[in-house]
Amino acid sequence: MINPGNGSQWGIKPSGTDLTLEIHSIIDNANDFVIVCGYNFSPYTHPSSIIPRLVAKRSNGAAVLIIMPPNMWGFGNRNHTLNIQHLVNNGIGVILNSKNHSKWLVSDYGYYYGSLNYTPASMHTKIEVVSICDVLRQVSPPWWMTQTKLELLQFAYNEVSNFNRLTTTLNLGIINSNALNTLGIVIGLILRFNPEIGKIRTTLLNYENARINLSMIVDKYFSYISFEELEQIWKHINRSIYILDKLAAKGNEILLKNDLKMPIKRDTIQYNRLHDQFIEQINKMILTLSEEKKKQLQEGNILNNIKIEEILKINLDNNNDF
């Protein structure tokens, strides 16, 4: 890695180079705020997890926000669900964003961005690309450090502002209606082989879009219903995407065999069986969401995010001359 000795370092992190302390120090040395944007996190019970440090900062009065997708790529990741609930229960502002795949961290002490996830394997064992700065409090940090900090803060401010605006303008009825509409759209994206192979190609083109649309249903419900109700939706989503992943794998296998002039009849039967299971699961979800629910706002999370929005606005205003 490149280290010019000015409080920053960047480049390729080789396997075996441990950046755990550097990541932790950006959190531990923060005074006013910590913003984390990430994709994969260790369980909060793990010794190297950043989550206890975030909770400690929140307990000491700092504003803490974390932006993450509701699920990992593998889906059904119970540790991730427990992390989210633990964060909210301990006063951490949480925004679920299924489109987020970025990894970065910023506080009034420093910042990190790169490919590194907040797991021991990523911080120590895996090869990653990283950029780290820990001198934001010095009198005149290089202009590019300040600009990087401001870009990260502006993104976080936009995310939390949008979250707070939607929370105050939408209601559970609108969220339900939007979710049902999304499920209808997803059904139209995943096609059955009967017997035009082009429908499998179309399905594979639509695959990631369908996956993200399903995940975003959890994003939208997050601040409107209790965790108990949310987990029921989570289970339906997880099951649907699990089947969808298997269907996509089978579809790719069919296309490969077809290109090689190999028999595909048995594979297409399996593909259609997975398709029917997927549609059945989506229809179960439609039935569940059609049932009337009592609105149970997670008010603590909403209030946390309102406070964070105010603090981010102050920090952006104080640095707008750079």
**How do residues 113-149 score in pLDDT, each as one tens digit?**
999 999 999 999 999 999 999 877 777 788 888 899 9
Beta bridge partners of 111: 106, 133
C-alpha 55: how far from chain center: 19
**In the CATH hierarchy, which fold is given to the domain comprising 172-290?**
Four Helix Bundle (Hemerythrin (Met), subunit A) (1.20.120)
What is the value of pTM for the model shown? 0.88
Q: In angstroms, rounded to a whole number, what is the distance separating the alpha carbons of residues 223 and 236?
A: 18
Question: In what side-by-side order are the strands of the sheet with 63-68?
Answer: 8-13, 128-133, 111-114, 103-107, 33-37, 63-68, 93-96
- Beta-sheet strands, E only, within 23-167: 33-37, 63-68, 93-96, 103-107, 111-114, 128-133
Superfamily of chain region 8-168: Endonuclease Chain A (3.30.870.10)
Predicted confidence band of residue 282 (pLDDT cuts 50, 70, 90) = very high
- Provide the residue type at 144 as one letter: W
Amino acid 314: pLDDT? 77
- Percentage of the chain modeled with pLDDT above 90: 64
Q: Which of 9-18, 98-107, 177-186, 308-317 shows the lowest per-residue confidence on average (mean pLDDT)?
A: 308-317
Question: How would residue 75 be classed by pLDDT, with cut points 50, 70 and 90?
Answer: very low
DSSP 68-90: E-SS-TT---HHHHHHHHHHHHT
Q: Where are the domains of the chain?
A: 8-168, 172-290
- Residue 225's pLDDT band, with cuts at 50, 70 and 90, is confident
Confidence of residue 306 (pLDDT cuts 50, 70, 90): low
What element of type H or E holds 11? strand 8-13
